[in-house]
Amino acid sequence: MEATIEIRDLTKRFGKVVALDRLSLTVEPGEFLVLLGPSGCGKTTLLRSLAGLETPDEGEISIGGDVVFSAPRGISVPPGDRRVGMVFQSYALWPHMKVKDNIGFGLRVQKLPRQEVEARVTTVLDDLAMGGLGERYPSQLSGGQQQRVALARLLATRPPVFLMDEPLSNLDARLRMDMRSELKRLHHDTGATTVYVTHDQSEAMTMASVVVVMNEGRIQQMAPPGQIYRQPANVFVAGFIGMPRINLLAARTLGDGRARFEVGDFTLPAPGAPPNAKVFVGARPEDVMLSLEPADDAVEFQVYAVLPAGPETIVHIRRGEVTLVARETRQLELKMDQSVWVGFDPAAINIYDGASGELLPPEGGSRREAASRMADGGRTG
């Protein structure tokens, strides 16, 4: 039941719009891969190309070792023969068919005997806790139930590859949370290679075994969720992932061997950064350390706004033109306009090339090690 998906140099144009731009990607068997990116970046197009609903202009796709699409060789296997199942954003349930006929449709197309079809439909309905709803029409179901029918329809034919296009985006917030864990469970039980599209980063982070961040038809980064968050590969990913947004400061590293960078009128330590270069410094809000007293290497900022949010507090601070966002889990009594002293966790910050926006590899790996230590929970305040 497991299949590898290989995509090579896939390009798809709609008139002048390049929806996919020489995109290459390998999905390992049994992986839960999430395609994440802003709206219009080509996620749906990629998924539909995998399913065979869209014909790319260039490139190759193979699923489970079989070439299903190849522009140079002129191969394009029709959707029905690709052994993929798909859940559409709109669910695409057939309104004129009962739930059980919706679910059994694919099995009847495969000409399974009638008892077999009915048995499988019943099993799938029971598995999804919908026994007894088989005789209803889709319009008589709630949004959550319709979502499950769409899933059931995919499960009934037991394809080795699941494709899902924003399957949860039409549910309300609470139901969405519940469905996340159910989908995860489902993936675990079936072991199907899954490609899951979403523009919701928290959905991506919670569900994925590997995340692919896309922009303008290209892959920006492919990595496990933790790494996407801790080490965004470029400023686009850094800015796209994380809520509140990462602090990205345009800075210049000093050439005096002190490994510091300069922003506006102050400097901060920057271990491992190349000297004398234009860079962007990326620091997540939780890596901005606030203290109420002056300290070594700390810079004085003024509190601009305090936004309590339950277990944490988001603090906006300012110095001249520079605004930073900090996330505080301690209970600090902060007042508007009071002074705070700010330092960055040197192990956690990422430094990007000022011109290309790419992550600069840390020299000697010191930052990376520090980062993984950080991820294990060792955090100094």
Partner 1 sequence: MYLVLVPLAQLIWRTVTWGEGDRRLSPAAVEGEVTGFHWMEAFSGPSSNAMLFEPLANSLFTGLFAAVFALLLGGVLAWVVTRTDMPGTSWLRPLLIVPYVVPSFAIALAWETLFKSPRIGGLPGLYETVLGFGPPEWLSYGPTPIIITMTIHYFPFAFLLICGALASLDSQLEESAELLGASRWTILRKITFPIVAPAFAAAAILTFGKTIGTFALPFLLGQPVQYATLATRLFSTLNQGLDALGYILALVLIAITALAVYASSRVLGGNLNRFETIGGKGFKGQLTRLRNWRWPIFGATAAVALAVAVFPLLLLGYQTLMLVDGFYGFDNLTLHYWIGESDPELAEGEPGLVRNDVILGATWITLKLAFISAAICSVVGLIIGYIVVRDRGGWIAKLLDQISFAPFLFPAIAFAAMYLSLFAEARGPIPALYGTFTLLVLISVVNRLPYGVRTGTAAVAQIGRELEEAAEIQGASWMRRFRQIVLPLATSGLVAGMLVSFVGVMRELSLIILLITPSTRVLMTVGFRYAEEDQVQLGNALILLVTVLTLAGQYLVWRLGKGRLARLRERSG
Ligand X SMILES: Nc1ncnc2c1ncn2[C@@H]1O[C@H](COP(=O)(O)OP(=O)(O)O)[C@@H](O)[C@H]1O
Residue ranges in contact with partner 1 by CB under 8 A: 51-53, 78-82, 84-86, 88-90, 92-96, 105-106, 109-110, 139, 153, 157
CB of 24 to partner 1, least distance (A): 24
The Cα–Cα gap between 304 and 235 comes to 25
Instruction: Single out the residue of 24, 6, 33, 19 nearest to residue 162, CA to CA.
Output: 33
CB of 93 to partner 1, least distance (A): 8
Instruction: Look at strands 247-253 and 260-263 and give their pairing.
Output: antiparallel
Q: What is the DSSP code (8-state) at residue 294?
A: -
CB of 76 to ligand X, least distance (A): 17
The Cα–Cα gap between 21 and 218 comes to 6
- The only residue of 31, 32, 44, 370 in contact with ligand X, by rule CB under 6 A: 44
Residue 43 interacts with ligand X (CB under 6 A): yes or no: yes
Q: Count CA atoms closer than 13 A to 294's CA, side-chain side.
A: 1
Q: What is the DSSP code (8-state) at residue 41?
A: S
Which of residues 36 and 47 has its CB atom nearest to partner 1 in the complex?
A: 47
Q: Please list every residue from 21 through 40 that binds ligand X, using CB under 6 A.
A: 37, 39-40
Residue 19 interacts with ligand X (CB under 6 A): yes or no: yes
Residue 7 interacts with ligand X (CB under 6 A): yes or no: no
Distances (CA, A) of 363 to 117, 208, 254: 61, 30, 16
Residue 44 interacts with Mg ion (CB under 5 A): yes or no: yes
Instruction: Single out the residue of 199, 231, 193 nearest to residue 213, CA to CA.
Output: 199
The entry of ligand X, Mg ion, partner 1, none that residue 85 binds, CB within 5 to 8 Å by partner kind: partner 1
Residue 17 interacts with ligand X (CB under 6 A): yes or no: yes
As separate numbers, helices (DSSP H) first and strands (DSSP E) second, the chain gives 9, 21
Residue range at the interface with Mg ion (CB under 5 A); choices 41-49, 220-228, 235-243, 335-343: 41-49
Instruction: Look at strands 161-165 and 84-87 and give their pairing.
Output: parallel
- The only residue of 41, 125, 150, 213 in contact with ligand X, by rule CB under 6 A: 41
Which of residues 23 and 156 has its CB atom nearest to ligand X in the complex?
A: 23
- Residues near Mg ion (CB under 5 A) are 44
- Residues near ligand X (CB under 6 A) are 14, 17, 19, 37, 39-45
